[in-house]
Structure 1
Amino acid sequence: MENISSNFTELLILIFILITFLQSGVDKASDWNGNTGWLKDHFSGTFLSGMVPLMVAIIMIIEIITGILAIIGIWQIIGDNDLSMALYACILACVTLLMLLFGQRVAKDYAGAFTLTGYFIVCMFGVYIMS
């Protein structure tokens, strides 16, 4: 119980990452056609237009891995007060968000890119406090 009370911030950030990334990855897997169809239109006219299925697959896999790392990180913090997997979850979350930001900027979806900023700040704060 002491590990929980001394790591509230870390645990809350990991729960945020878990919900955000695992849900997004599972959504991409369960609605593949809907996601790729929308993104093909979103990236039409860009140099990424022919790579949408590959990009969605890569992002989906990384999001699911990030969510799994968050689960492991939560488990390790509660059990052993070990922040190593939690740090990796935060780092991978930041990398994923940078990839999404790149795509939004290429698609000239500046509002969508701006939306990612809040997520990135939370994840970067996680990297900071878990380093």
Structure 2
Amino acid sequence: MLNLQTYITEILILVFILITFLQSGIDKITDWKGNTGWLKEHFSKTFLAGQVPLMVGTILILEVITGILAVVGIFQLITTGELLFALYTCILAAITLLMLLFGQRVAKDYVGAFTICGYFIVVIFGVYILS
């Protein structure tokens, strides 16, 4: 119980990442056609237009891995106080968000890009306090 109190901020950030990324990954799995269809239109006037299925697949894999790492990180923080997987989770989440931000900027979806910044702030704070 002491680790739960000691690392509560880190654990809450990891729970945030877990919910955000795992839900997004599950949504892509359960509605692949809907997601890729919408994104094909979203990127239709960009140099990424022909790469949508590859991009969605890449993001899907990163989101699921990030969600799994978050579970491992939470477990390790609570049981042993080990920070390594928690840090890896936040770093991978930051990289994934930067990829998403790049896509939104290329598509000139500035509102969508701005929304990602809120997630990025939480994640980069996690990187900061865990490193």
Same fold (TM over 0.5): yes
Equivalent residues, number: 131
Q: Identity of aligned pairs, percent? A: 69
Q: Quick one: distance in 1 between partners of 2:2 and 2:37?
A: 48
Q: Quick one: distance in 2 between partners of 1:6 and 1:88?
A: 19
Give 1:121 shift. 0.3
Q: Quick one: distance in 2 between partners of 1:120 and 1:66?
A: 14
Matching residue of 2:86: 86
Q: Quick one: distance in 2 between partners of 1:78 and 1:130?
A: 14
1:47 counterpart letter in structure 2:
F
- After superposition, what is the alpha-carbon deviation per residue over 1:27-64, rounded to whole angstroms, capped at 9, x for unaligned? 00110000000000000010000000000000000000
Unaligned runs of 5+ in 1: none
Task: State TM-score, norm by structure 1.
Answer: 0.99
Matching residue of 1:33: 33
Query: What root-mean-square deviation, in Å, do the aligned CA atoms of Structure 1 and Structure 2 show?
Result: 0.3
Q: Quick one: distance in 2 between partners of 1:83 and 1:75?
A: 10
Give 1:7 shift. 0.6
SS in 1 for 2:44: coil
Give 1:82 shift. 0.3
Task: State TM-score, norm by structure 2.
Answer: 0.99
Unaligned runs of 5+ in 2: none
2:65 counterpart letter in structure 1:
I
Matching residue of 1:4: 4
SS in 1 for 2:85: helix
Tell me whether 1:52 sits opposite 2:59 in the alignment.
no
Q: Quick one: distance in 2 between partners of 1:48 and 1:12?
A: 35
Matching residue of 2:110: 110
Q: Quick one: distance in 2 between partners of 1:71 and 1:106?
A: 32
Runs of 4+ off more than 6 Å: none
Q: Quick one: distance in 2 between partners of 1:72 and 1:103?
A: 29
Q: Quick one: distance in 1 between partners of 2:30 and 2:83?
A: 31
